[in-house]
A and B are shown apart, each in its own frame.
Chain A
Amino acid sequence: MVVLNAVIEAAGLEKTYPARDRGGTPFRAVAGIGLRVERGEAFGFLGPNGAGKSSTMRMLGGVSAPTAGTLRILGLDPAAHGRRVRARLGVVPQDDSLDVHLTVRENLLVYGRYFGLSRKAVRERAGELLEFARLTEKADERVEHLSGGMRRRLTIARALINDPEILLLDEPTTGLDPQARHVLWDRLFRLKQDGVTLILTTHYMDEAEQLCDRLVIMDKGLIADEGSPRELIERHITREVLELRFPPGEHEQVAVKLGRDGLPEPERLEVLPDRLLWYAEDGETALARATAAGVQPITALVRRATLEDVFLRLTGRSLTD
């Protein structure tokens, strides 16, 4: 039985920053979004840079007051109970912001004291967390000697010092190599199994697919759609995608030749600068049809549809633009 128990509830949430210079225009980073995150869920914000993800995360972290709308974190209004809210959250900022002059363990100790935990309690907890982050052997080394992946794991360990109910992660694996990413994902899976609610932002669709039970796609401060990765793909995209490459400049022509406007629903052709995407239930059949139409691509590739395709469909832009 699933017990629904919202840890985050937001309606009409907006964030406008005042103009930086006199006479400048205020910047509306978040333009009215509604959210509901259940306890124990892994919830993601997927979107390109500047979509409003980080601004939303700052509001959820209780360090940025919404300009408009309502927000409840763990049932509390963060504007009135910021301290109590933040005491129950863990925050992993995009830049690790560790103290490079202190050792790995010391970083946990000083952070734990911010929460008013006793020296003894912090020591015990730091030991467990070093084990969890696989940093026990590095405990007494200075942070400046750690790799990027280790630093990120330490930042996550630090965010867990107060045993938070919600862990907020802003771009958790940006800048990490593939192996470090997998180690990190593995640690996050474990947290999720332990019942910690994970809320993360990412512009990697594979990360969103790997980690998130449910996600929202954000663009220009708004939520374009919401659902599980599977649901989003089924709602907006066919099961498979045929990617065709032609010499530069010919893609438009080929699209017409393939009968772009006369394709049976839900099939669709999308022209990108460097390739043509043919959304079809069966990619191989589509390729056969293309060949029958006398089209000769330089390369042809059939793949599963991903969230990247959903994003392209919803916003008309690719995530990495």
Chain B
Amino acid sequence: MFRALHYWLYRYRRTWRGTIVISVANPLLFLLAIGAGLGALVRGSVDGVSYLEFFAPGLLAAAAFQNAFVDGGFAVTSASRRERIYPTAAATPLEPGEIFGGHLLFITLRLALSAAAFVLVMALFGLVSGPGVAVAVVGAATLTGLALAAPLAAWAVTVRDIPQLNTVFRFGMMPLYLFSGTFFSVAQLPGPIRAVVQVMPLWHGVDLCRTLALGTAALGPSLLHLGYLAGLVVAGVLAGRVTFRRCLHT
């Protein structure tokens, strides 16, 4: 598995500087524009805190989810088809499960780095109360991303062309991004829609990140969020072990 990870790290050596810049610039611009700019229009407080305080951890979870789609979706399909990175590795002693595991490790690393950069920017805005909170939030955001990346990768390896992924992105990811409590509290949604949103993984990630960042996390809901997200990771890993084998050792 580490042999497969080595490949991705080697490739990353060429691009890591650029990705770090993006990982910092993105939240910086978003928090300035939407949090501080648009947020100034929001009178009073949301759930008892300023809009920026409310919005930032939600966006962190949503950003992790989007990164997960790029790394666990587009990159996986490309590695399986266009770039043929997986089939090339599958001709060597590596087993499909190791090829999957190595890539997933790399995705985890990327998610954690992006989340760390984001939390660093949050700290600049005075939105992080201490190093313990920072670590917990980075961990929560990474788990949120992985909860999508693992099952998505298990499917993406079977996808023949990129347009299929684009469709899922447009009709699956965008609604989740908009309605999972990133920009406003899900309490504002009508009951049935709220119920649907609260079954979706991103809401669990948003709520986990937000309550941890605001110091309002309660044990029960947090364990539920953690269990749900971790369950998705496990399901994705188990499914991926099967789909990678089917696709690479046909």
Which residues does A use to contact B, with CB under 8 Å?
A: 17, 58, 61, 63-65, 82-84, 86-87, 89, 91, 93, 95, 97, 99, 101-102, 106, 109-111, 113-116, 162
Taking a contact as CB atoms under 8 Å apart, the answer to whether A114 and B84 are in contact is no
Q: Which residue of A lies closest to B15 (CB)?
A: A101
Please choose the segment from B24-32, B42-50, B86-94, B186-194 that sits at the chain A interface, where 4 or more of its residues have CB less than 8 A away: B86-94
Which of A58, A91, A97, A101 interacts with B250 by CB under 8 Å?
A58
The contact string, 1 if C-beta is below 8 Å from chain A, for chain B 14-57, is 10000000000000000000000000000000000000000000
Taking a contact as CB atoms under 8 Å apart, the answer to whether A114 and B7 are in contact is yes
Taking a contact as CB atoms under 8 Å apart, the answer to whether B10 and A101 are in contact is no
Residues from chain A with Cβ under 8 Å of B4 in the complex: 114
Taking a contact as CB atoms under 8 Å apart, the answer to whether A63 and B83 are in contact is no
Which of B7, B14, B91, B250 interacts with A93 by CB under 8 Å?
B91
* A110→B85 CA distance, assembly (Å): 11
Shortest Cβ distance from residue B102 to the other chain A in the assembled complex, whole angstroms: 10
Instruction: Say if the beta carbon of B248 comes within 8 Å of chain A.
Output: yes
* A93→B87 CA distance, assembly (Å): 9
Instruction: Given the known inter-chain contacts A114-B7, A116-B93, please indicate yes or no for A99 contacting B83, CB distance below 8 A.
Output: yes
Taking a contact as CB atoms under 8 Å apart, the answer to whether B93 and A99 are in contact is no
The contact string, 1 if C-beta is below 8 Å from chain A, for chain B 80-109, is 000111011111111100000000000000
Taking a contact as CB atoms under 8 Å apart, the answer to whether B93 and A83 are in contact is yes
Residues from chain B with Cβ under 8 Å of A106 in the complex: 10
* A115→B11 CA distance, assembly (Å): 18
* A87→B95 CA distance, assembly (Å): 11
Q: Offer 8 A-B interface pairs, CB within 8 angstroms, sorted by A.
A: A63-B91, A64-B250, A93-B88, A101-B11, A101-B14, A102-B10, A102-B14, A114-B92
Residues from chain A with Cβ under 8 Å of B92 in the complex: 86-87, 111, 114-115, 162
Taking a contact as CB atoms under 8 Å apart, the answer to whether A65 and B93 are in contact is no
Residues from chain A with Cβ under 8 Å of B6 in the complex: 110, 113
Taking a contact as CB atoms under 8 Å apart, the answer to whether B250 and A116 are in contact is no
Shortest Cβ distance from residue B1 to the other chain A in the assembled complex, whole angstroms: 12
* A102→B93 CA distance, assembly (Å): 22
Q: Which residue of A lies closest to B10 (CB)?
A: A110
Instruction: Given the known inter-chain contacts A63-B90, A99-B85, A106-B10, please indicate yes or no for A114 contacting B3, CB distance below 8 A.
Output: yes
Interface centre among B11, B84, B88 (most CB of A within 10 A): B88
Taking a contact as CB atoms under 8 Å apart, the answer to whether A97 and B10 are in contact is no
Taking a contact as CB atoms under 8 Å apart, the answer to whether A86 and B91 are in contact is yes
* A173→B178 CA distance, assembly (Å): 52
Taking a contact as CB atoms under 8 Å apart, the answer to whether A97 and B90 are in contact is no
Taking a contact as CB atoms under 8 Å apart, the answer to whether B93 and A86 are in contact is yes
Instruction: Given the known inter-chain contacts A58-B250, A114-B3, please indicate yes or no for A102 contacting B87, CB distance below 8 A.
Output: no
Residues from chain B with Cβ under 8 Å of A109 in the complex: 10
Given contacts A63-B248, A82-B95, A97-B88, 6 further A-B contacts (CB under 8 A): A83-B95, A86-B92, A87-B93, A110-B7, A111-B88, A115-B92
Residues from chain A with Cβ under 8 Å of B250 in the complex: 17, 58, 63-64
Shortest Cβ distance from residue A90 to the other chain B in the assembled complex, whole angstroms: 9
Instruction: Given the known inter-chain contacts A102-B11, A106-B10, please indicate yes or no for A97 contacting B3, CB distance below 8 A.
Output: no
Residues from chain A with Cβ under 8 Å of B94 in the complex: 114
Shortest Cβ distance from residue B108 to the other chain A in the assembled complex, whole angstroms: 20
Residues from chain B with Cβ under 8 Å of A99 in the complex: 11, 83, 85
Taking a contact as CB atoms under 8 Å apart, the answer to whether B91 and A61 are in contact is yes
Shortest Cβ distance from residue A315 to the other chain B in the assembled complex, whole angstroms: 27
* A162→B3 CA distance, assembly (Å): 15
Interface centre among A58, A114, A115 (most CB of B within 10 A): A114
Which of B83, B89, B249 interacts with A114 by CB under 8 Å?
B89
Residues from chain A with Cβ under 8 Å of B11 in the complex: 99, 101-102, 110
* A162→B4 CA distance, assembly (Å): 16
Q: Which residue of B lies closest to A17 (CB)?
A: B250
* A84→B93 CA distance, assembly (Å): 7
Residues from chain A with Cβ under 8 Å of B87 in the complex: 63, 93, 97
Residues from chain A with Cβ under 8 Å of B83 in the complex: 97, 99
Taking a contact as CB atoms under 8 Å apart, the answer to whether B84 and A97 are in contact is yes
* A114→B87 CA distance, assembly (Å): 12
The contact string, 1 if C-beta is below 8 Å from chain A, for chain B 111-134, is 000000000000000000000000
The contact string, 1 if C-beta is below 8 Å from chain A, for chain B 219-250, is 00000000000000000000000000000111
Which of A91, A95, A113 interacts with B3 by CB under 8 Å?
A113
Taking a contact as CB atoms under 8 Å apart, the answer to whether A114 and B10 are in contact is no
Residues from chain B with Cβ under 8 Å of A65 in the complex: 249
Taking a contact as CB atoms under 8 Å apart, the answer to whether A116 and B3 are in contact is yes
Residues from chain A with Cβ under 8 Å of B85 in the complex: 97, 99
Taking a contact as CB atoms under 8 Å apart, the answer to whether A82 and B91 are in contact is no
Taking a contact as CB atoms under 8 Å apart, the answer to whether A91 and B91 are in contact is yes
* A116→B7 CA distance, assembly (Å): 12
Q: Which residue of A lies closest to B6 (CB)?
A: A113
